[in-house]
Amino acid sequence: MANDASELKGKTGIKRLVNAFLYSRDGFKAAFSTEEAFRQETLLAAALAAVLPWLAVSVELKLLGLLALVFVLVTELLNSGLEAIVDRIGPEIHPLSKVAKDVGSCAVLFALTAAAVVWGVILWKIVA
């Protein structure tokens, strides 16, 4: 990435916030351009979030639906970061590398399952 996290050291106030935002933007762009799963989940989350205001459910349930979508994206980003670290260590297959990647994948599965349950409840409330 063009920005170096070490540039944040010694920065304070608005400059630090701006730099942190730019690093986050770079991370989003990197994940979106290189991770197919993140692209798919981001597009699905955007579509579902866009329809939330028009759903006939409580504000609390809408918020829970939005949080479930964000939880999936955050988990996918962390999993992608974990995979990048493992890949950075080396291309050889190692049992601990497999465990790290599998555990990250499992975390994404749990986040997706939780989101599916929340959105299932939302749909059930709409049709019930």
Q: Please report, for the domain that includes residue 107, its CATH number.
A: 1.10.287.3610
In this structure, the answer to whether residues 23 and 77 fall within a common structural domain is no
Residue from 36, 41, 76, 83 carrying the catalytic annotation:
76
In this structure, the answer to whether residues 103 and 52 fall within a common structural domain is yes
107 class by beta-carbon count within 10 Å (0-12 exposed, 13-18 middle, 19+ buried): middle
In this structure, the answer to whether residues 23 and 49 fall within a common structural domain is no
Continuous H helices in 35-94? 36-51, 59-89
Name the residue range of residue 1's domain: 1-34
Q: What pLDDT was estimated at residue 1?
A: 47
Average pLDDT score over the chain: 93
Mean pLDDT of 31-45: 97
In this structure, the answer to whether residues 51 and 62 fall within a common structural domain is yes
Containing 25, the helix (H) or strand (E) segment is helix 13-34
In this structure, the answer to whether residues 50 and 94 fall within a common structural domain is yes
- How many angstroms separate the first and last alpha carbons of the chain? 49
- 95-127 vs 59-89: helix axis angle to the nearest 10? 170
* Total domains in the fold of the chain: 2
Q: What pLDDT was estimated at residue 5?
A: 55
Cα separation, 16 vs 28, whole angstroms: 18
**Contacts (Cβ under 8 Å, ≥6 apart) of 122:** 55, 57, 61, 62, 65
Contact 79, 109 (CB under 8 A): no
Contact 78, 106 (CB under 8 A): no
- Please say if 76 is a catalytic residue: yes
Q: Is 3 helix (H, G, I), strand (E, B) or coil?
A: coil
In this structure, the answer to whether residues 41 and 58 fall within a common structural domain is yes
Residue 113: pLDDT above 90? yes
